[in-house]
Amino acid sequence: MEKKSSLPPPVLIPELGHLFYTLGWMTGTGGGISIREGDTIFVTPSGIQKERLTPSDLFLLDFHTRSILKAPTLPVQPSACTPLFYHCFQLRDAGACIHTHSQNALLVTLIYPGPTFTITNQEMIKGIRRGTHGPGLANTDTLVVPIIENAPTEEDLSDGLTQAMSEYPDTCAILVRNHGVFVWGATWEKAKTMTECYDYLFEVAIKMKQLGMDPHC
């Protein structure tokens, strides 16, 4: 684990939720954010508008037992993405994980019908890392993001997510067809940066396809 942020997760997560709502990534209460600090997991609740999140709305969970250490006073449950966030923390030693319902993330899974999204020769590829703690990619590298099939609930995505992590050890993101994307990083800053870079590249690929251009050139 890398060093703690200067801002505590109860402050950061609502701030990020408000930002991602304005970007259209977490509308309709969709999406989720989780940050790990040592043995404590901070996670957004299910069914709460991200633009209205407050520090008191967050759940605090034990990293090892997954038991709830602190819950909001509202009658809500931890994000349905929580089991998937735990995969990122345990299997990829992530410090933060972000799940968005970005339209760009959804659309690339439709125009790339295969098991991966790929793009190359784009400057923003340099904002993506080769694995959670790995170096940054070069703009001439080919970025590969696995795509898994959607399921009725987020919990049902667990098998597909863990298989994709195993098959693509260098990825820091997994797309879910007709759904959105999961992105993780060593810190919340790196997870946020990569989420922005991935979304930028998804949008570029969509526009290139619309213009009859090849994102692989």
Residue of 2, 15, 37, 123 with catalytic role? 123
* Burial grade of 200 (CB within 10 A; 0-12, 13-18, 19 or more): middle
The CA distance from 50 to 82, in Å, is 16
Question: Does the annotation list 64 as a binding residue?
Answer: no
Tell me if residue 140 falls in helix, strand or coil.
coil
Residue 110, C-beta contacts closer than 8 angstroms, at least 6 positions apart: 177, 178
The CA distance from 153 to 155, in Å, is 5
Q: Is 123 a catalytic residue?
A: yes
CB 60 within 8 A of CB 41: yes
Question: Does the annotation list 81 as a binding residue?
Answer: yes
Show which residues are catalytic: 123
* Bind-site residues for substrate: 81
* Bind-site residues for Zn(2+): 99, 101, 179
